[in-house]
Amino acid sequence: MEGDAVHRCAARLDALSSATVVRSDFRTPSLATADLAGRALVDTRAHGKHLLTRLSGGWTLHSHLRMSGSWTVVRKRRADGGPALPRGVRAALDLDAGAALVGVDVPVLELLRTRDEHRVVGHLGPDVLAGAPTATQEHFDHDDALARLRRDPARPVVEALLDQRGVSGLGNLWAVEVCFLRGLWPWTPVGDVDLEPLLALARRMIRHSLEHGTGMTTTGVRRRGENHWVTGRSNRPCRRCGTLVRFRPAVGSGAPYAREVWWCPSCQPAPAG
């Protein structure tokens, strides 16, 4: 999941602020005994791909959606518990506002003191969506981001962009697509890359996606098959030059930033030799 989708989710949850939890139901072992009844939702903010839902009394519900998790707002359940919750539900919060907040397949879910939020987001680099209404950070610290990205200069640029300790909020789609748009071979050592325009482009595009709700398009076209420059287009002609797009599957489950990569060998040539 990309940062813009997470911030969109944060906005959905934040719209429920000031509602009070009437009943909470957690189906995750570590929270089996947690009871949030009587607590008001204060706000929901995002940092990178992490969601922080603050509750009255100084508590924060921290969640991370990874690839498939979601929070949805549904009509409040009846007192008898119906309608039945969908499969995969990890959390259901009935609110006095006539709605219920349901977390499905949310792999990371924990309750912590709001003052301890740094424990779960303190390692993250500046949020590419800093300054968005749902962001915990008002300003994007450019110098900090650049220094973090350059920390390991030999590292492939596509991997550096995905490491949330450099900048947070970029996922595979944006990392792969900005490399294409900047004409960068994805395995160029990050130390050899002119990072400022790359970062500026990534931030501009993901911000645009958030503000215009355009979701998973990087080309501006929403139609499936035309919504990306190279992602998901292996062996199909590059939309810019016609060369067949190449694909490298994710390698090594132990390498967290080795994801699937698509690139055009003509628009993004590897260095000679």
Counting contacts by CB under 5 A, is residue 266 touching Zn ion? Answer: yes
Please, which residues have CB within 8 angstroms of residue 46's CB and are 6 or more apart in sequence?
3, 6, 7, 9, 10, 52, 127, 129, 134, 135, 136
Q: Does residue 144 contact residue 123 with C-beta atoms inside 8 Å?
A: no
Residue from 147, 221, 241, 251 that binds Zn ion (CB under 5 A)? 241
Q: Is 208 in the site for Zn ion (CB under 5 A)?
A: no
Stretch that binds Zn ion, among 18-26, 85-93, 145-153, 256-264 (CB under 5 A): 256-264
Is residue 264 part of the contact set for Zn ion (CB under 5 A)? Answer: yes
Supply the DSSP string of 29-59, one letter for each residue.
GGGTT---TTPBEEEEEEETTEEEEEETTTE
- From 27, 76, 240, 246, residue interacting with Zn ion (rule: CB under 5 A): 240
3-class SS of residue 227: coil
Out of 36, 65, 202, 238, the only residue in the binding site for Zn ion (CB under 5 A) is: 238
Alpha carbons 30 and 39: distance in angstroms, whole number: 19
Q: Which stretch binds Zn ion (CB under 5 A): 104-112, 118-126, 189-197, 236-244?
A: 236-244
User: Residues touching Zn ion: how many (CB under 5 A)?
Assistant: 7
**Residue 104, Cβ neighbours under 10 Å: how many?**
18
Which amino acid is located at 99 in the chain? A
Nearest residue (CB) to Zn ion, 32 versus 272:
272
Q: Which is nearer to Zn ion, 57 or 183 (CB)?
A: 183
Binding to Zn ion by residue 91, rule CB under 5 A?
Answer: no
Instruction: For the CB of residue 230, give the shortest distance to Zn ion in the complex, in Å.
Output: 8
Residue 192: both structure tokens together: 């050899």
Tell me: does residue 162 bind Zn ion (CB under 5 A). Answer: no
Closest CB to Zn ion among residues 122, 242? 242
Q: How many CB atoms lie within 10 A of CB 87?
A: 7
> Which residues bind to Zn ion, rule: CB under 5 A?
238, 240-241, 243, 264, 266-267
